[in-house]
Amino acid sequence: MPILTDGLHLVSNSSLDELHEFAASIGLKRCWYRRGHYDLFGNKLSVAVAHGAKTVHPRECAKARRVAMAAKDTNKWLLLAGSE
């Protein structure tokens, strides 16, 4: 599963929609989403891992977040360019 955690953050290496769905399934509120990730607190790390999140090095988590944010920005640009 392409949901990743470095122990502090929850990210997806494939899509933000998938990240939001996963986060909701473990009880994270959408309003807690910030710039490509959710912060994990309390018991949410163990819940995320139990639901299939893969624990990775923080660098891998940061890379996945950057890729997801770039894709999001590209999609916005493509939508804006197509509306002209």
Average pLDDT, the chain: 85
Q: Which helix (H) or strand (E) holds 54?
A: strand 54-55
Q: What's the pLDDT score for residue 14?
A: 81
pLDDT over 80 at 74, yes or no: no
Cα 73 versus chain centre, distance: 15
| Amino acid identity for residue 50 in this structure | A
What is the C-alpha to C-alpha distance for residues 56 and 60, in angstroms, rounded to an integer? 6
- Nearest CA to 36 out of 17, 55, 51, 54 is that of 17
- Nearest CA to 61 out of 80, 83, 45 is that of 45
Q: What's the pLDDT score for residue 72?
A: 67
pLDDT over 80 at 27, yes or no: yes
Going by pLDDT thresholds of 50, 70 and 90, the confidence category of residue 77 is very low
